[in-house]
Amino acid sequence: MNILKKKSYVCGFTLIEMIVSMGIFTVVAVIAVGALLHIVNTNNQAQTLQTAMNNAGFALDAMSREIRVGSSYRCDQNINADDYNPKNIFDYGSGSNFSKSCNMSDNMGGSIGNVMLGFQSSQYDPTNTCRLIFAYLFIQDPSYPGEWIPEKAEQNHCDDTFGSSGGANVVPFVPILDESNLHVTDFRVGDYSAAYSGTPGYNWIFLRLTGYSGVKAKNRSTFDVQTSISQRIHD
């Protein structure tokens, strides 16, 4: 009588198979994580660029609306923003235009120092005796060499001066862009005056801002926005 012996087999993976499987899994995981990080970084760059374009575009649009209805434009270089007295520069008489033009082809964002574009706005002071002066100033950023800060100051009364002394009737310049996220590395200001010798006329102004947004270098996005403004002649 033959006795059949049953053999039991234990199934499993060999060490080599485990090593190969772990290697393949590691490669796939690294590729997947890398792709995910790339997607996240690309999304951050897109959001940063969108924010920069929105902020810079909004600033230029606000400047355009005010400049378009202004008059007596002056583009001055190497401006000392402390105690700048508009009354010594602008004529308060009606119908006069004492504009000072500047060439947009010049390297306005170079080594010439601060640049200011000032003009008589369409708004009058409370006594209705003069049109208030608005001014946009581009100053060198002390925290970031080679970068610029666009600032704005506007009179509330005819006797107001522009500056940082903090005295009576002194209006300070304030930044018009978010300096923590938006950095202006260069700018252009062009003021072509049809009449800058005392004869009334109209002006054509050109503005351009270039720079980058984002704090971290890998998330930075560059921007370049510009606009041209034709003066609206008052009736």
Report d(CA 109, CA 149) in Å as an integer. 11
- pLDDT at 13 exceeding the cut of 60: yes
- pLDDT at 229 exceeding the cut of 60: yes
pLDDT on residue 95: 42
- pLDDT at 29 exceeding the cut of 80: yes
pLDDT on residue 94: 43
pTM flag (> 0.85) = no
Range in 5-9, 42-46, 119-123 with the lowest mean pLDDT: 5-9
Check residues 155 and 90 and name the one with the higher pLDDT: 155
pLDDT on residue 3: 54
- pLDDT at 90 exceeding the cut of 60: yes
pLDDT on residue 196: 45
Query: What's 234's DSSP letter?
Result: P
Which of 12-21, 121-130, 147-156: highest mean pLDDT?
A: 147-156
3-state helix, strand, coil in the chain (%, to 5): 25, 30, 40
Chain-wide mean pLDDT for the chain? 76
DSSP string, 33-81: HHHHHHHHHHHHHHHHHHHHHHHHHHHHHHHHHHHHT-EEEEEEES---
pLDDT on residue 12: 67
Dmax of the chain from CA atoms?
133
Nearest C-alpha neighbor of 187 from the set 133, 223, 216? 223
**CA-CA-CA-CA torsion sign (207, 50, 61, 154):** negative
pLDDT band of 103, cuts 50, 70, 90: low
pLDDT on residue 197: 46
pLDDT band of 200, cuts 50, 70, 90: low
- pLDDT at 35 exceeding the cut of 70: yes
